Amino acid sequence: MAIEKFEDILSWQKAKSLSITVYRLFSSNKDYAFKDQIQRASVSIMNNIAEGYERKSNKELKYFLFVAKGSSAEIRSMLYLALSLKYITENDFKRLYSDATEISKMLSGFIKTL
């Protein structure tokens, strides 16, 4: 299947799902600075994929995919903090960490194809 719009990109779809999970999981968290940062990082993944695709240049797409990978690493880093502060359970940590890692690997594969 050819990619006709950014919504067709599997890594964008996974990133959207991750963002929704992050928003729901931290919705009642009272550490507003933490909550804002992890939510913004999750949204950054999907938005950078979308923005890079819409630029219609492989060079720019590649740049934005690398930015998205950076945001994926930021999510994983913040998950360690969330776990240490007992904002999330070990199971939530494992699930979200796995999702963020999978997205990062997908982005790496996408970058290699460019």
Q: Write the CATH number for 95.
A: 1.20.1440.60
* Count of C-beta atoms within a 10 Å radius of residue 5: 10
Kindly state whether residue 4 falls inside one of the protein's structural domains: no
How many folded domains does the chain comprise? Answer: 1
Distance CA(52)–CA(67), nearest Å, equals 10
pTM (global) more than 0.75: yes
In which domain, by residue range, is 78 found? Answer: 17-113
| Average pLDDT across the chain, whole number | 97
Question: Which of 9, 28, 14, 4 is closest to 75 using CA atoms?
Answer: 14
pLDDT in tens, 63-97: 999 999 999 999 999 999 999 999 999 999 999 99
Kindly state whether residue 7 falls inside one of the protein's structural domains: no
Kindly state whether residue 107 falls inside one of the protein's structural domains: yes
> Is residue 12 within a helix (H) or strand (E), and if so which, with residue range?
helix 10-25
Instruction: Write down the residue that tokens 């938005």 correspond to.
Output: 47
Instruction: Answer whether residue 1 shows pLDDT above 80.
Output: no
Instruction: Write down the residue that tokens 């359970």 correspond to.
Output: 89
